[in-house]
Structure 1
């Protein structure tokens, strides 16, 4: 029987989403921070697959603040954090909240050395994650702040949103549940529209798991839950995205649509003085653009992710989010096998093991939810029995 969207199994969607996120991350890494025009000049055209580091063999010294080997199929911190969150799910085996970040995620980041592809060495994940993620260690491990509000004061960016795909998958086909859980988790890491984006991205992944889901239904689910500037930014970007079927023509219009909501400004590497501060009027750039590219690409994994990659700016995170949603829509077969093989081998990582683990946990959590719901129904029935 021919497999269709309506018959894709849970395991296939989870694998497709996590594999899709990791491959998108690896494709976007080497061109992160640049404009579409700079990408074309550097690569002699649009990027259509895995490329090497922007600065070639000088990757260690070209950017001292980020001495990372981005490119050649290496995953970045987006995937490292995604897999770290899956390990927390594998330990807790139930829904998570901010306290799970303090009790499990932070200790993992500072205690367990792992192979870090961008460092080409075994190291603590803490030594690779960037400033907004190091904040969690300072606030929770050293500052002993309440995990539910530890994210307040951090730079407001996509740091929490970028690794929330597992939350959407554990809550597959339940966008509202995914949103609530991700907002709780992200309180330990982010505030304002950074925290909001985490909830909406998780909801989008959950919505992509609905059997008859489409790019349009995913965007609708996101808009039904998104608040303030995040809602407005997604709406503006989506209205532009529907006018395009080719990412090349969509790059400038999508940037123009999201620019009023983005605090970073036109020069990604030189943020404005108002950048990344809390606001109800603004949004991170990455999530609306990821959803926009999903619409432009018609949900097709390759077109969606390449659109995200060639957009530039924070394109590893944009491609991570876009890849996670497109992978959940279409399953593992949607992700080009040669890309996935190269990324797994170059990064020295088993990209399928986290998916198998999360699929098992997701079933356990659903069984727990079912039991809890039935217990509630039984108790409520007694409370309302008028006999």
Structure 2
């Protein structure tokens, strides 16, 4: 394990503030990364005359509807993408169940939400069902659970292995705040309905990292250590390699190439993000998604600074909306809502016609209810165990 030492924060940030910071930070990172998703750092710099420093417009300008017919989405101008749509959908499931979730909750509540409740979809500039925007790997949930009636715990098997499940697991970490092991286990169960192999593993590790970032004395180093303590196989190896490279840098510009080089041996997509290799996204114990290790690397490079971590993630390119979503969630959980630039969050909320604070308030309320239930369950177990182990005379 790579142990990274850092000084603890001086003040304790409240749970509510960390939840708001994490969810707002994730949405803002998503919106900033969307318009440059799929491109290289060099292409991004050429297109924008240097590094992206905030909200930018669509890559193809006014031709965004037709430039890429397979993905006719208005990415840019502060619009959130499917990462945030799925995150907020999962929060609504927590609001309904008001307890820990599992794969059956995905089948019973998340899928119906995706296919029956029209919502404003910023990238479509229209009100539509979320299923009409989400990527094919997420449409898998609908095909397998709603139409195929597959056992929810096994429905993820056969799907392409990518970051689709990991990208919206921040709420799991937040309801398990300061309990990385609990977040990891819950996210693995939930993600079984969506992903398998290292895609499912990444969902568990990302949730654990978010939970670790909520600890009162959390630092970027403690977050990485918590992730490494739970990660398995190629995911663990990739995080080790990327975070080791990250410790040599304090500016994202210098870290862009080294972080990509560190994760490349574990990434099945290959050097051309838009033309994946034949071995891409298949189950493996040796490989990892790219997004989570790089997000953790950027968290280290930035020293936990939100703006630096997110801009590093955005300018990394490739699947940078998801990388920035994860880095933003982690940095926001570490430092609270004030860490997220207000001009960014205000612009994203306005452009996307979305309330970024209400989901956070709702999840914070649910997190407190779950903690009370967990405490009651734990005390009942302790009482039963004491009776079972009492001396019999």
Q: Which residue of 2 aligns with 1:23?
A: 28
Q: Which residue of 1 aligns with 2:4?
A: none
1:271 corresponds to 2:297: no
Q: Deviations for 1:161-212, whole angstroms, at most 9, x for unmatched residues?
A: 0000000000000000000000000000000000000000000000000111
For structure 2, the 5+ residue unaligned runs are 1-8
Q: Which residue of 2 aligns with 1:348?
A: 353
Q: Which residue of 2 aligns with 1:366?
A: 371
1:58 corresponds to 2:69: no
Q: Which residue of 2 aligns with 1:89?
A: 94
Q: Which residue of 1 aligns with 2:112?
A: 107
Distance 1:123 1:367 in 2: 37
- Root-mean-square deviation (Å): 0.5
Q: Which residue of 2 aligns with 1:239?
A: 244
1:315 corresponds to 2:351: no
Give TM-score, length-normalised by structure 2.
0.97
Distance 1:17 1:226 in 2: 21
8 Å Cα contact 2:34/2:75 also seen in 1: yes
Matching residue within 142, 149, 152 for 2:147: 142
Instruction: Please report how far the alpha carbon of residue 5 of structure 1 lies from its aligned counterpart in structure 2 after TM superposition.
Output: 5.4
Aligned residue for 1:148, secondary structure, equals coil
Q: Which residue of 2 aligns with 1:221?
A: 226
Distance 2:137 2:12 in 1: 39
Distance 2:369 2:252 in 1: 39
Q: Which residue of 1 aligns with 2:3?
A: none
Q: Which residue of 2 aligns with 1:188?
A: 193
Instruction: Please report how far the alpha carbon of residue 6 of structure 1 lies from its aligned counterpart in structure 2 after TM superposition.
Output: 3.7
Aligned residue for 2:153, secondary structure, equals helix
8 Å Cα contact 1:74/1:118 also seen in 2: yes
Alignment of 1:119-198 (within 5 A): 119-198=124-203
For structure 1, the 5+ residue unaligned runs are none
8 Å Cα contact 2:12/2:217 also seen in 1: no
Q: Which residue of 2 aligns with 1:284?
A: 289
Distance 1:333 1:299 in 2: 13
8 Å Cα contact 1:168/1:178 also seen in 2: yes
Aligned residue for 1:118, secondary structure, equals helix
Distance 1:225 1:283 in 2: 14
Matching residue within 200, 203, 207 for 2:208: 203
Distance 1:264 1:61 in 2: 25
Aligned residue for 2:127, secondary structure, equals strand
Q: Which residue of 1 aligns with 2:43?
A: 38
Distance 2:148 2:355 in 1: 35
Q: Which residue of 1 aligns with 2:338?
A: 333
